[in-house]
Amino acid sequence: MLFSVASSSSSRGLTDGLLLRRSSPLAMIFYSSFTSDVNKSTVDFKVILDGTRHAVSASVNEQLSKVLAKHRDVMHAVPIISPMLGHDAHVIVPEEVRKELEELTGEEMDKIEELCSEPLDGGRSRLASQLRVSESFAGMTFAVKGMNRIMRT
pTM: 0.69
Q: Where are the alpha helices (DSSP H) in the chain?
A: 25-39, 64-70, 95-98, 106-115
Helix (H) or strand (E) holding 126, with range, is strand 125-127
How many Å separate Cα 130 from the centre of its chain?
A: 11
Name the residue type at position 116.
C
- Domains by residue range for the chain, with CATH: 2-39 (no CATH), 42-145 (3.10.20.30)
**Which residue did the predictor score with more confidence, 153 or 80?**
80
Cα gap 52→79, rounded to integer Å:
19
68 in Cβ contact with 128 (< 8 Å): yes
Nearest to 33 by CA among 15, 51, 17: 15
pLDDT at 16: 42
Nearest to 28 by CA among 17, 37, 20, 39: 20
pLDDT category, 12, cuts 50, 70, 90? very low
Q: Mean pLDDT over residues 60-74, rounded? A: 94
pLDDT category, 150, cuts 50, 70, 90? low
Residue 153 has pLDDT above 60, yes or no: no
pLDDT at 62: 96
pLDDT digits (tens, 9 = 90+) for 109-136: 888 888 888 888 778 999 999 999 999 9
